[in-house]
Structure 1
């Protein structure tokens, strides 16, 4: 009996210990692991290596054997390793390290994985948060099934300069719209929470103000007031953080003279301090080492010291940390506690992802195969594509086309293109996947039509011809569809352009075809706003299709033939000329504002060009029409602690069902400091049947009226405010004023 009691007591103690172990918090587990780690192993966790894909920068050649480095605990994360076969090989190597700390696998899953969705700027044109969340959700599901833990998205940089190549990767020019989209994409990527096998960690980038690069030149300096930083560029980052974003990435640019990677103000004071961010910060590709050519530090030793002090936790591909950080600590330049903090943040995410419980939980070949290219997800990509299309012009209601049309001329260098339709930053999991071309999409929806095809010219042709084949095709057909624009290498990282006109002689091709007198529909494909003044003035119908991904041909055909009524609205201003850039709707007024396009002298205007854009922020047409009427407000005077509602009737006055995105803008009429001429503060996307009317209501509260003063304090000021409701920033239908009082 005595021995039975002893055995029972021992078993009870073991159970109690097991229970206690299970109840230990992640924080305690992280602390326990850190206590076992050598300095070199800690530095290894802060080191991220590229796999085998030259995607975002020059690959360092003297890397040695990467798998050996993983086995020695010198690597915490690997990027650009796709597919369960590859990720398993690296994770097995990590399991041979002394402490068996699993790797994180990162990948630029920007707008889809196996299924390619529209580029982010195109998706932003949908103004549809649910659709964008679904797009990111599907991308995350496919990527996670392929063994990926972490996507370097969403990019939430506000961009007001379409010369900047990475404008395609964000949500456009507006802070409010950009903030809503940032939330939706984070929620889509991270799903129901980290650790679920269909969720990936989001990485919000680029912190901060990368989109304001001077001259629209990638990697260039940014110079702005801190009030502009806080008011315009930081809110989408805060929105993403509030949505639970797991990680942040800093940016290549310097901000007011300090490289973002070495900025304590951005990373410690704001992100980890004022905002209380608990995740970790990763550098952009080699941005730690690039502080040397910036002239901010003299070598990688100093770069490692400056970056870790500033709050950069993980070093992507510069090797500055792995080669120097241990020595920096041993030399007394930083306290080991600084390194421990960075390691703690990274290990915490690995625990939250469940990788310590099962390093291979995301590596299941059968699940990978089952997750890819599911029919319902392909249909979602098609739907996202058509939601992203913006109808810019439709004279004489050329569109939609009849499916019984007898002949169509399909002209242009992008008519039969496949790869370009995916746009920059597609993962190319399967380069030979079934991308639907414009030709195929049209042929499927009008099977009885004779299609006369002519390439017309190449995208980059610099010498115009008589375009005889294209003109002959147009003359034979009942209607002409032209597919023109950029190629895939003209937008994206490191692809800034001084000239953003339609490339080559394509606009000359459009002129030649329009001159035939045939009805012409121009499809413009690009990753940025382009300049196309002649086309805007003379082409009867213009559809901006951006790059829509795998299902582009079907999405475009759905709109052309009326299966879907276009409802996209521009998330960014389209200039008339590069000389207007930067141009955006929410500018400040001047002491000498222009009163009209012909009022030029002694006004803030050009003498050779109107101030107005070619197409304004928020603009987009439909195959039906809408009316706005009967505006009312609940109060004409409110205190700053109160709110009011503004209501109006929105009616479909056309003959087919359609969606309208009603937009609410506000102007603070007198303020110190100055306020913009209008600011988007809310919007609602509403589906209406023909003749249907809905009463739409917006709520105005303190959050919609406050702004930063010069001391970076959020304030409201009493006075008059104008409410503007309309179909675009330059198409205001209804107005009301109210007073904010003390």
Structure 2
């Protein structure tokens, strides 16, 4: 199924993609891609025979740019690179294959000029960067954009980000992150698509296509994608970053592998080994993962790069005794290129000389690096993406900024609304209160190297630009993010009492999400809860705006607000995007890509959990059933939940004969009606439960979704086609299997909503 051929407002993810994977055509695509990447032009192939062992080791060495760009020095310090001149010397000597997170086209031109004029073999460098959700134009963080349930939107923003990156001299981005994340405590969930496998797959594929474009990697506006982190990084114990992972092979194959397979099928030519271990073997030295599964089983023959000092960390893991052994273990397991440790340039020549690393393996890795450079067109024109004039002309254009605003508005999830929203643009006094009510901070989110909050538009500016009378808006911080402000609550109460409605902007700072930002308690900080309590006590209607990079466990008084919007970190046009939804210029249409728990103690929580042998029956919590003392085994706000400015009703489920066979699919239909007074865009979701199987099955699994636009009073029939292969699961022998029997099906607005439901039989 080719996503690019599907109309945006019809089925954005049809059922059948999982079946296609199990039936292996995607693996055939990988095999074809492998053949392409390993076929080098004769002149490039000849270079391998001319290289010294040290020059070969240089090609598989990647270092942080000593002349770093933006926030790169803080995010990834250059480490062993002592100076820019020192890196130029390494280039001249053929001891460096590329750099990452450098300072734009000027820096890249200087380095590439040295490589092409002064190095012996004149092999072009590759320039990489962490372009996670934008370069200078910053789009919503990936978790927020996943809330749009709109892979075409993700493709468009990745396309814009890729073009902007390419205009800045970048060839390769370390994105998309396709880790499934089911523990809200883990900070890096903000970089992915949430807890669901299907949503993760379609977003992974869309972002790869977006970064790389449709004209081939050699196009000057294309950048190579890198699916990361392989694999199961999001399953770290306790939600602790870099932590151990111990999951079954079945869970790897059902949950953590599929988004990578989709990314590779979409054309991603590279992947990054993850920091974590799996069942005692670090991924960076995991031969089963990197060679047996990735290479032999899937047929992938692209480039595998380590994460930042991932090979060096084998020593701290207790898996390697020293740097030399760490180099051998990582390289022989299948890591082709070492990032940042410099272990490969230091130790591969000696390992080859000692016979511990075969020359054939080194040549294989070098060939993969050169193949990527060939694909990117660097041997044809090493300067094809290095143009300072183009860099200035193509970053932060009106078109990309407009797209950032559109994407931001389409990423906002409305959890609750008692009718206070949308706000009128005139006739109401509005008090913006909270640490995020104004000021250019905490707008673009974590892990952005080149964009800045100073270039982004905040909530105050966005609101003042849309109301008729800017004087009707007051702005009061009320508290800090973690700490109270002297007199802050008193000032906030005065502002609230003078207003007709309060817009309370609270939540996480962007430093609370992202790498190394695991949290033991996924709640709104106490100082902000105290502020919310005081504002609620005024009796004024309160609209809560939640700034966050993860699911949060919400409590009173936040839950008692008149309306709650999850606004995430929306990037360059954060404030205007929020204002568009607040005032009804854009109706909320996003859905939660992660479950919001009742309490942190439920984590890790995901909607597609198993029932256990003692599920709680419908109704009150019962003794000796699978739930906590305080809460049901459910989410407070479920995966897929999100309200619109319409009133949406589900009715008239039609399953036809309610029978499916190998030759006869099941068509499930339902009527979706907007009985409200405002237009709405509904995300209609199809879930299935296999009632009895040889492997216990989740209580629900998302199989497809559609976006449906409904005018006031309009009704539309929505249909989904399920085929036998859509019901595959990983059987007891770890191979795909389909078993006859009863299945329950829901067409519903969330993973916990009833919508309309029924049963069918697979013969």
Q: TM-score range by the shorter chain?
A: over 0.9
Matches within 5 A, 1:486-525: 486-525=508-547
The 8 Å contact of residues 600 and 607 in structure 1, kept in 2 or not, is answered as no
Residue 147 of structure 1: which of 169, 183, 191 is its match?
169
Partner of 1:8: none
Contact map agreement 2:724 2:762 (CA 8 A) in 1: no
Name the counterpart of 1:364: 387
Correspondence for 2:376: 353
8 Å CA contact retained: 2:669, 2:718: yes
Cα shift at 1:447: 3.1
Query: How many angstroms apart in 2 are the aligned matches of 1:288 and 1:590?
Result: 40
Q: Provide the residue aligned with 1:315 in structure 2.
A: 338
Q: How far has the Cα of 1:734 moved from its partner? A: 1.1
Change (3 A) 1:417 1:353: same
Number of the residue aligned with 2:130: 108
Alpha-carbon deviation of 1:595? 1.9
| Corresponding residue of 1:215 | 238
Find the counterpart in structure 1 of residue 4 from structure 2.
none
Q: Residues 588 and 645 of structure 2 are in contact (CA less than 8 Å); yes or no, is this contact kept in structure 1?
A: yes
1:647 to 669, 685, 695: 669
- In 2, the alpha carbon distance for the partners of 1:487 and 1:627 equals 37
1:636 Cα deviation from its structure 2 partner: 2.4
Structure 1 residues 459 and 644: alpha-carbon distance in aligned structure 2, compared to 1, 3 A threshold: same
The size of the alignment, in residue pairs, is 716
SS at match of 2:164: helix
Runs of 4+ in 1 over 4 A off after TM superposition: 55-58, 462-466
- Indicate the residue corresponding to 1:21 in structure 2: none
Q: How far does the alpha carbon of each residue in 1:33-74 deviate from its partner, in whole angstroms, 9 at most, with x for none?
A: 211111111111000011133354454246461110011110
Q: Which residue of structure 1 lines up, in the alignment, with residue 257 of structure 2? A: 234
Identify the match of residue 96 of structure 2 among 69, 75, 81.
75
2:178 corresponds to: 156
Within 2, Cα distance between the matches of 1:94 and 1:55?
27
**1:244 counterpart = 2:267:** yes
Question: How far apart in 2 are the matches of 1:641 and 1:505?
Answer: 60
Given that residues 111 and 119 in structure 1 are in contact (C-alpha distance below 8 angstroms), is that contact kept between their aligned partners in structure 2?
A: yes
Q: Return 5+ residue gaps in structure 2 as ranges.
A: 1-37
Provide closer, same or farther for how the CA distance between residues 623 and 291 of structure 1 changes in structure 2, counting only shifts above 3 A: same
Give the superposition deviation at 1:382: 0.3
**TM-score, length-scaled by structure 2:** 0.92
Q: Work out the CA distance in 2 between the residues paired with 1:162 and 1:597.
A: 27
Q: Would you say the 8 A contact 1:405–1:478 is kept in 2? A: no
- Say if 2:77 is the partner of 1:54: no
Paired residue for 1:386, among 388, 406, 409?
409
| Alignment partner, residue 37 of structure 1 | 51
State yes or no: 1:258 paired with 2:281.
yes
Question: Using the alignment, how far apart are the partners of 1:615 and 1:31 within structure 2?
Answer: 56
Residue 467 of structure 2 is aligned to residue 446 of structure 1:
yes
After TM superposition, list the pairs within 5 Å mapping 1:519-668 onto structure 2.
519-596=541-618, 598-668=620-690
SS of 1:386's partner is: helix
Matched-pair contact (CA < 8 Å) for 2:62–2:339? yes
Q: Deviations over 1:693-719 (max 9, x none)?
A: 222111111332001013210000111
CA positional deviation for 1:736: 2.3
Q: What is the aligned counterpart of 2:702 among 680, 683, 689?
A: 680
**2:314: which partner in 1?**
291
Greater alpha carbon shift after TM alignment, 402-411 vs 546-555? 402-411
Given candidates 347, 350, 354, the residue that maps to 1:327 is 350
With over 3 angstroms needed to count, the CA separation of the structure-2 counterparts of 1:474 and 1:463, relative to structure 1, is closer
Structure 1-normalised TM-score?
A: 0.94
Q: Which residue of 2 aligns with 1:727?
A: 749
Query: Which region of structure 1 is more displaced relative to structure 2, 270-279 or 552-561?
Result: 270-279
Q: Where does the alignment leave 5 or more consecutive residues of structure 1 unmatched?
A: 1-23
Give the structure 2 partner of residue 182 of structure 1.
204
* In structure 2, C-alpha distance between the alignment counterparts of 1:466 and 1:155, rounded to whole Å: 39
Measured in 2, the distance between the counterparts of 1:421 and 1:597 equals 42
Is the contact made by 1:194 and 1:352 (CA closer than 8 Å) also made in structure 2?
yes
Contact 2:549 2:568 in 1 (8 A): yes
2:243 & 2:407 partners in 1: Cα distance?
33
Given that 1:442 and 1:554 are in contact with CA atoms closer than 8 Å, whether structure 2 keeps it comes out as: yes
Structure 2 counterpart of 1:26: 40
